[in-house]
Amino acid sequence: MKVSSTGGVGSTGASRARPSGGSTGFSLPSVNAASGAASTASVGGLSGVGSVDALLALQAMGEVGNPLERKRRAVRRGEQILDLLGDVRIGLIDGDISSDTLDRLTRAIREQRENTDDPNLEGILNEIETRAAVELAKLQAPS
């Protein structure tokens, strides 16, 4: 069998048909439509992956944060615990300590404990938590 045509099988071109009349019609660009769609899909895929990477980085940053931000949060938590300890001290001196204050102190200690790896701080937090539990038990004991 003899092949006499030299044109490519997969070559496509723009339509040569022109709309009749003076109105402008829809026309396709002269580039291959399949390669245009493929390049659009690949760009969309890359931007999707990039946005996921950015979201993961932001999430990791929010959890870990930079050292300065972590220190600020630790200082805030420490100040909160010190304020609650001041409330407990005043309540003990006045003889009118509330179980709500002791509960808030216990919760703050537990939250702080999750974020520390210092054995000395762990010991102090244990002592504070024990004292708060003792005072709470005194409040709940029948008189």
Task: Provide the 3-class DSSP secondary structure of residue 21.
Answer: coil
The structural domain count of the chain equals 2
In the chain the first and final C-alpha atoms are separated, in Å, by 112
pLDDT value at position 66? 82
Residue 7 has pLDDT above 80, yes or no: no
Give the global pTM: 0.52
Is 124 found in the same domain as 71? yes
Residue type, 3: V
Residue 43's Cβ-side half-sphere holds a number of Cα atoms within 13 Å equal to 6
Whole-number Cα distances in Å, 112 to 14, 56, 62, 122: 69, 25, 17, 9
- Supply the range of the domain harboring residue 108: 66-140
Q: Let me know whether 71 and 135 are in one domain.
A: yes
* pLDDT 10s digits, 39-86: 454 454 444 555 666 666 656 555 556 888 888 888 898 899 999 999
Highest mean pLDDT among 6-10, 23-27, 94-98: 94-98
Compute the average pLDDT of residues 9-16: 52
Tokens of 129: 């938590």
What pLDDT is stored for residue 59 in this prediction?
60
| Residue 10 forms part of a structural domain | no
